[in-house]
């Protein structure tokens, strides 16, 4: 049994109805779990998101594609890079690109689409920089309901568009950015009765908190978790996961939540360095990491609270630092990620240089999406393969 309500993070008002996204005061909602019979153990035996079902607010059989249970790698070559900056630390990468659709969004969508079915919705919808749409389309296909996707036209990596299309979503590009797409789809969901599956949906974030559960399950609670921040849902979800483990007596510490943004899309970073509780939107966000090309993150207040409360921090990284980190991960550790995901490693290296990372810290970086999501950027930064005549000498001449 799990007892919960939706609670406003601003005014504290609680709702027992579930078919809402924000409070009447306009504040963000979160699932507040009052009581739960915990039926899992942190025994290191991962089996995916639904291992943690006793902390997930779902009443029916889940729509699942066996998401979660992603690999956690110890990264000694990255540790060596940090050593050169005078920092001795234990670095792990949790590779969320290994989820069924190739990003962490699957954890949220298995819960979010299941909630859509529970609420008897006939269609789901989202605005997306790509991964949310790919994942939502996949789970909607599994569930047998319609999916509507709004994208910033021309600004979404090809692999992600391909997924949304092939899984059968209605994909619409707008001549505008993600923030505008989100505003429009929120309005359309109201008019059409579609179930909104952006991260403003508190149930979706419940699935994503299982990243925290899996980390704690496998290696205990680390000192720091570093991840890219776009719409700011994931950092909020992971922080909530760690807090719930403490609340239910399963662990006794919270990692420093550390959010990394691209320089051209950095409102959360700016709020943190200026000591503010909310963001000033970035009007025309721009970065090679299109997944996090967001100027007005909808979950900013939750994320900023997570960072302050956990004594974490935020950092910004340039496109060049992002691509360098992507190459480091791929060529030194064998971990293929898309640019946004590499922001976590770029941020780690930068924070080590700045002396923010302390000696002895156990750190987990989340790599949020797979390399194959964005093949076009790879060709841009690595160049095309060499082409030669079809004979041994020609091949040997370029070895």
User: Which residues form the interface with ligand F0G (CB under 6 A)?
Assistant: 103, 128-132, 199, 228-234, 291-292, 338, 340-341, 368-369
Residue 187: CB minimum distance to ligand F0G, A: 18
DSSP secondary-structure letter at 85?
T
Looking at residue 32, the DSSP 8-state letter turns out to be E
At closest approach, how far in Å is the CB of 183 from ligand F0G?
14
- Give me the residue label for tokens 């797409």: 181
Pick the closer one to ligand F0G by CB: 143 or 182.
182
- Cα Rg of the chain (Å, integer): 20
Q: How many angstroms separate the CA atoms of 392 and 46, rounded?
A: 48
**From the CB of 186, what's the least distance to ligand F0G, in Å?**
14
Neighbours of 228 (CB within 10 A): 31
* Residue 341 C-beta: closest distance to ligand F0G, Å: 5
If the CB atoms of residues 36 and 164 are measured against ligand F0G, the closer one turns out to be 164
CB of 14 to ligand F0G, least distance (A): 24
Q: Would you say 376 and 158 are in contact if contact means Cβ atoms under 8 Å apart? A: yes
Structure tokens at 252: 């006794």
Nearest residue (CB) to ligand F0G, 62 versus 130: 130
Cα–Cα distance for residue pair 127/113, rounded to 1 Å: 15
Angle at the Cα of 63 (from 57 to 68), degrees rounded to 5?
A: 80
Q: Does residue 322 sit in helix, strand or coil?
A: helix
Q: How far apart are CA 214 and CA 21, in angstroms?
A: 27
Cβ neighbours of residue 214 closer than 8 Å, sequence gap 6 or more: 46, 68, 69, 70, 72, 94
What are the phi and psi torsion angles at 103 (to 5°)?
-150, 165
Residue (251 or 368) nearer to ligand F0G, CB: 368
Q: Distance between CA atoms of 212 and 230, rounded to whole angstroms?
A: 18
Smallest distance, Å, CB 105 to ligand F0G? 6
Distance CA 113, CA 99 (A): 16
Min dist CB 135 to ligand F0G, Å, is 8
Residue 388 CB, nearest approach to ligand F0G (Å): 35
Cα angle 31, 35, 38 (rounded to 5 degrees) comes to 105
- Shortest CB 163 distance to ligand F0G, Å: 11
Choice between 101 and 251, CB closer to ligand F0G: 101
CA angle 365, 369, 375 (to 5 degrees): 130
Q: Which is nearer to ligand F0G, 129 or 266 (CB)?
A: 129
Q: Which residue has the tokens 């969320």?
A: 96
Q: In terms of CB distance, is 63 or 265 closer to ligand F0G?
A: 265
- Longest Cα–Cα distance of the chain, Å, equals 74
Query: Which of 33/200 has CB closer to ligand F0G?
Result: 200
Helix, strand, coil percentages for the chain (3-state, nearest 5)? 45, 20, 40
Query: Which of residues 42 and 330 has its CB atom nearest to ligand F0G in the complex?
Result: 330
**What's the min distance (Å) between Cβ of 83 and ligand F0G?**
27
For ligand F0G, the closer CB: 36 or 134: 134
Under a CB-based contact definition with an 8 Å cutoff, are residues 229 and 266 in contact?
Answer: no
- Are residues 194 and 102 in contact, defined by beta-carbon separation less than 8 angstroms? no
């Amino acid at each position: 049994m799990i007892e919960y309500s939706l609670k406003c993070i601003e005014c504290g008002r609680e709702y027992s109805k579930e078919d809402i996204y924000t409070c009447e005061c306009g504040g963000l909602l979160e699932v507040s779990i009052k009581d739960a019979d915990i039926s899992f153990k942190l025994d290191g035996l991962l089996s995916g998101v639904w291992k943690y079902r006793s902390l997930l607010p779902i009443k029916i059989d889940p729509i699942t594609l066996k998401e979660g249970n992603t690999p956690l790698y110890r990264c000694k070559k990255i540790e060596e890079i940090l050593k050169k900056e005078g920092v001795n630390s234990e670095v792990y990468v949790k590779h969320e690109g290994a989820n069924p659709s190739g990003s962490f969004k699957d954890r949220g969508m298995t819960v979010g689409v299941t909630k859509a079915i529970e609420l008897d919705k006939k269609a789901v919808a989202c605005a997306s920089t790509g991964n949310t749409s790919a994942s939502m389309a996949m789970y909607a296909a599994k569930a047998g309901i319609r999916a509507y996707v709004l994208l910033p036209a021309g600004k979404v990596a090809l692999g992600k568009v391909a997924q949304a299309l092939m899984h059968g979503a209605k994909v619409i590009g707008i001549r505008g950015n993600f923030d505008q797409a989100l505003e429009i789809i929120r309005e359309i969901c109201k008019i059409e009765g579609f179930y909104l599956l952006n991260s403003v949906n508190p149930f979706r974030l419940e699935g994503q908190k299982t990243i925290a559960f899996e980390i704690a399950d496998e290696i205990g609670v680390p000192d720091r978790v570093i991840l890219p921040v776009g719409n700011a849902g994931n950092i909020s979800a992971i922080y909530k996961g760690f807090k719930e483990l403490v609340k239910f007596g399963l662990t006794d510490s919270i990692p420093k939540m550390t959010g990394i943004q691209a320089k051209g899309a950095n409102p959360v970073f700016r709020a943190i360095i200026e000591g503010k509780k909310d963001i000033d939107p970035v009007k025309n966000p721009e970065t090679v990491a299109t997944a996090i090309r967001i100027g007005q993150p909808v979950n900013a207040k939750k994320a900023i609270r997570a960072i302050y409360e956990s004594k974490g921090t935020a950092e910004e990284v340039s496109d060049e630092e992002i691509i360098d980190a992507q190459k480091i991960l791929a060529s030194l550790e064998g971990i293929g990620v898309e640019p946004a995901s590499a922001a976590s490693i770029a941020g780690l290296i930068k924070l080590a240089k700045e002396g923010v990372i302390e000696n002895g810290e156990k750190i987990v970086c989340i790599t949020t999406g797979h390399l194959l999501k964005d093949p076009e950027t790879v060709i841009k930064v690595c160049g095309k393969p060499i082409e030669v005549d079809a004979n041994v000498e020609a091949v040997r001449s370029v070895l």
